[in-house]
Each structure stands twice: as C-alpha cells, then as structure tokens.
Structure 1
Amino acid sequence: MSTDDQATPSNIAIYPFDARGVAKRFRHAAIFGALDALAPGEAMRFVNDHDPLPLLRQMAERFGDTVSITYRERQPAGVVIDFTRLA
C-alpha cells in the first residue's frame, strides 16, 4: 500500500464514503467491504472525524500494494483520504 500527497488522476471514478455516518463498531467492516467492491482504477473518497491510523495498518495487512492512499485533507478535526484500487 502506498501513501502519497499527489493529485488523483481526473479520469478515475471517485465514490464518496463518509465514515462519520457509520456506527463505530461497523466502520472497519463497511470500509473493507467498500474497498473490496472497487474495480482497479476506481477510488473511494473517505471522510472521517479523525486520522484512522489503526485502519491504515489493517488495510496494509489486507490489501498490500493494491490500494494507494492519498490524503486530501489532514486536520485535527478530521481527514479526507482517497483510497484508490490499483489491482
């Protein structure tokens, strides 16, 4: 899994996922399900009320280098991250 601050190419489909509206006990399962549903080249724009470092570690174990991470916004009040399916 790669992490960068580069722009997401404009030719990929980006699907919104606002984790703030998902019950905390269901969030990781819902996120993994959404990532599993992405085709290569598609992205999920993830919005959350905190930086999800434990989730990112779990994603690295599960997806390896098949998902890239691009922070769009990283503030104390929350984050916006593009997760792009590479393969």
Structure 2
Amino acid sequence: MQPIHVCNHTTPEAIYPFDARGIAKRFRHAAIFGALDALHPGEVMRFCNDHDPLPLLAQIQQRYGDSVTIEYLQREMGAIVIDFAKVG
C-alpha cells in the first residue's frame, strides 16, 4: 500500500501545494500554468486533484518540454498527486 500524500502547506524543500479541487473548472488550467510559470528552478509544485489530468499533462509537456518534470506520487481513483518540478 502506497503512502497517501497530502497538500496542506509549503515545506522547507521548496515544495508548494496546488489543490486543483478548490478551483472552478473553467479557471483550472490557467491557474496551473500561472503557478508553473512562477516556479524557480529546483522548486516543485505538488498538484492534488480528484481525477487523472491526462489532457493537462499533454499540454504541460507541449508548453514546457523538458523544463518541467512530471512525477506521480499517488494515482488512485479520486486521489491524484503529482509533483511538477522546474528544471534549472
């Protein structure tokens, strides 16, 4: 059984939570891109969502290429946690 990751506060390791569940659906992608644009190299946005955002991931890869990495920490129905890291 995998540990459950939560998004509740920033950490000393420069991991910043982004809980998409609290953002209106029509604003989500714009808010996510804004948050990714604001990351500095070495920082991580820990993204929490209730569904697997495959179309969003394709858009992120197209927009940022290798400058943002994508790593699933949790991938279960109703509980998705992904770390997006800005590469220096």
**TM-score, normalized by the shorter chain, greater than 0.5:** yes
Identical positions, percent: 68
Residue 76 (1) aligns with residue 68 (2): no
Gaps of 5+ in 1: 1-10
The equivalent residue for 1:60 is 61
Q: 1:78: Cα distance to partner?
A: 2.2
Moved over 2 A (4+): none
Taking structure 2 as the reference length, the TM-score comes to 0.84
For 1:78 and 1:26, how far apart are their aligned partners in 2? 20
For 1:26 and 1:59, how far apart are their aligned partners in 2? 16
RMSD: 1.1
Q: 1:77: Cα distance to partner?
A: 1.2
Q: 1:52: Cα distance to partner?
A: 0.3
Gaps of 5+ in 2: 1-11
**Does the 8 A contact of 1:68 with 1:85 survive in 2?**
yes
For 1:49 and 1:26, how far apart are their aligned partners in 2? 16
For 2:66 and 2:37, how far apart are their aligned partners in 1? 14
For 2:48 and 2:78, how far apart are their aligned partners in 1? 11
Q: Secondary structure at the match of 1:20?
A: helix
| Count of equivalent residues | 77
Q: Secondary structure at the match of 1:80?
A: strand
Q: Secondary structure at the match of 2:40?
A: coil
For 1:47 and 1:76, how far apart are their aligned partners in 2? 12
Q: Secondary structure at the match of 1:70?
A: strand
For 2:66 and 2:23, how far apart are their aligned partners in 1? 26
